[in-house]
Amino acid sequence: MRKYILHIVACTFLFLPATLMGLQDKNTLAVIEFEELDISRNERRMLVNRLRNEIATQGHYHIIERELIEEILREQDFSQSGCTSSECLVEIGKLLNVDYILGGSVGRVGSTYSISMRMINVETGIIYRTADYDYTGSIDNLLKTGMRNASKKLLSDDFVDRPIHGTRINTVANNSLINTWRYSNKILSIRFKNGSSIKGKIISVDSRNNVSIKTLNGYQINIPSNDIIAISPLNLHEKGSIGLGLGLAYGGIGFSVELALGPRFALCGGYGTFPIIEEPGFGAGIRYYFAESSKAFRPRVSILYGTNMYFYYSESGYSYDYYSGEYDYYDYEITELLQGYEICLGFEIAFGDSRRHGLDFDIAYIPGFSDKINETKNKWEEEGYEITEYQEGIPIDISIGYRFRF
């Protein structure tokens, strides 16, 4: 004879990502060889090396080593020589997979040296910053102190930002000035003169009226305001989502639908089938997200109600019949789905720039779990079933699934 009662919560699989990708704290910058004008190649090389080191010392960018630049370009059969146009610099920047690229020229007229520098945003192809530095004196002092001053002039005001709120930028869209504080907390679609566009948030404007933008993939770029021709708020998949998975939110093993009530609140419901007993289940409730839908990582809290547990009892064996003097075999089972509330803590992780695809995970506590199990056990005992052995289980439910936002 065997006797047991088994309680299984809606999902028995646990999955957590081993690592979560963090946002970059600095942009990457490649300084390529400058064009030399009336100076030797070795002198130009020494000056550019010193400029690269001075920019690295300031700590605002991750600087790509010269040897690595040369190795990558050599593998791609691409020469830096004669690459002076913005298009060529952008092409090199894409090969190097950097955020910004710096090029220019070093020349001499009489005893005056002139350093011309041009920094380009590789993603947009727009010139982010230019600077000219002139030095009269020996090339020795230009190397020792002049290149440090040149780097400071190039990067001056780059990281002295003022809040965007209430700031008006010199940008024309639909033939009218845009007061950007209206959009300072919204995801924007931003279009540039060269036809390219990005999606992100405007976070600041520096004293030179350069706009700092944080893109959806975590990069921070800086663009002169007069290179922006249009800004419009972007409604990023705030209608809801559909998903497939395991747990109360999916009705066991099934699908779920989430309808947004705003950027943070959502209604959710699911319908599916419970394994083993193969009966339909459901779940429904409300969620609150601690981050907007534009974020890749969105912690949340949920209150759900549905079929989050079931009662299963099986017994088999032989009973002695005193009238016939024989043993009779019996075999029966009791199956009952149980409903209750859950309080869930979890998160959603979205992938890609569009934030459409992602995984979600919840771990939940089931209030009144023991009372529900004992109440069901007593009910069946009152109907004549003798339940002598049972395993109550734990009041924890786990949900995991795939989600597509729309």
CATH number of the CATH domain containing 219: 2.30.30.100
Evaluate the CA torsion angle 126, 129, 132, 133 in order and state its sign: negative
Helix, strand and coil content of the chain, in percent to the nearest 5, comes to 20, 50, 30
Residue 108 sits in a domain whose CATH number is 3.40.50.10610
197 burial (CB, 10 Å; 0-12 / 13-18 / 19+) is middle
Residue 50 CA to residue 45 CA, distance in Å, equals 9
Say how many C-beta atoms besides its own lie within 10 A of residue 130's C-beta. 13
Same domain, 139 and 37: yes
Strand duo 210-215 + 220-224: pairing = antiparallel
In-domain check, residue 15: yes
In this structure, are 220 and 331 located in the same domain?
A: no
Q: Residues 287, 151: one domain?
A: no
Long-range contacts from 36-45, C-beta under 8 angstroms, 24+ separation: 36/105, 36/106, 36/107, 37/105, 37/106, 37/107, 37/108, 38/107, 38/108, 38/109, 39/106, 39/107, 39/108, 39/113, 39/139, 43/106, 43/139, 44/106
For residue 278, the domain's CATH number is 2.40.160.20
pLDDT of residue 74: 86
* pLDDT of 27 strictly over 70: yes
d(CA 399, CA 377): 26
User: 43 and 118 in one domain?
Assistant: yes
Judge residue 190's burial from the number of C-beta atoms within 10 Å of its C-beta, 0-12 exposed, 13-18 middle, 19 or more buried: buried
382-399 b/e (C-beta count within 10 Å ≥ 16 → b)? eeeeebeebeebebebbb
- Is 27 domain-assigned? no
Residue 80, both tokens: 């830096």
3-state SS, 213-232, equals EEECCCCEEEEEHHHEEEEE
Determine contact, residues 250/268, Cβ cutoff 8 Å. Answer: no
96 against 15, higher pLDDT: 96
Give pLDDT tens digits for 299-310: 999 999 998 887
CA distance 392 to 336: 14
Domain residues for 291?
A: 2-20+237-405
What's the structural domain count of the chain? 3
Is 64 among the domain residues?
yes
Q: In this predicted structure, what is the pLDDT of residue 172?
A: 43
Do 242 and 260 form a contact (C-beta atoms < 8 A)? no
Backbone angles phi, psi at 45, to 5 degrees: -65, -40
pLDDT digits (tens, 9 = 90+) for 351-374: 865 677 899 999 999 998 888 888
Cα torsion through 146, 150, 152, 153, rounded to 10: 130
Flag the least confident range among 123-132, 234-243, 253-262, 349-358: 234-243
Domain assignment present for residue 117? The answer is yes
Structural domain contains residue 26: no
Read off the tokens for 41. Answer: 């190649």
Residues 250 and 382 in one domain: yes
223 in a structural domain: yes
Q: Are residues 249 and 387 in the same domain?
A: yes
Question: 220 with 313, same domain?
Answer: no
Same domain (yes/no): 370, 323 = yes
Confidence of residue 79 (pLDDT cuts 50, 70, 90): confident
pLDDT given for residue 2 in this prediction: 36
The tens digit of pLDDT for each residue in 51-76 reads 999 999 888 889 999 898 888 888 88
Domain boundary among 233, 253, 271: 233
* Residue, of 337 and 80, whose pLDDT is higher: 337
- Is the same domain home to 267 and 389? yes
The model carries a pTM of 0.48
Contacts of 404 (CB under 8 A, 6+ apart): 241, 242, 243, 356, 357
Tens of pLDDT, residue by residue over 111-161, are: 899 999 999 988 888 888 888 999 999 999 999 989 999 998 888 754 433
Question: What per-residue confidence (pLDDT) applies to 165?
Answer: 41
Query: Is residue 119 in some structural domain?
Result: yes
Q: Are residues 244 and 381 in the same domain?
A: yes
Give the chain's mean pLDDT.
78
Tell me the mean pLDDT in the region 337-348.
92
Token duo for residue 86: 């913005």
Look at residues 155, 178, 193 and tell me which one is the last residue of a structural domain: 155
What percent of the chain is modeled with pLDDT above 70? Answer: 78
For 92-104, the pLDDT digits (tens) are 999 999 989 999 9
Please give the pLDDT value at position 157. Answer: 54
- Do the domain assignments include residue 258? yes
Greater confidence, 193 or 254? Answer: 254
Buried b (16+ CB within 10 A) or exposed e, 137-152: eebeebbeebbbebbe
Answer yes or no: do 395 and 309 share one domain.
yes
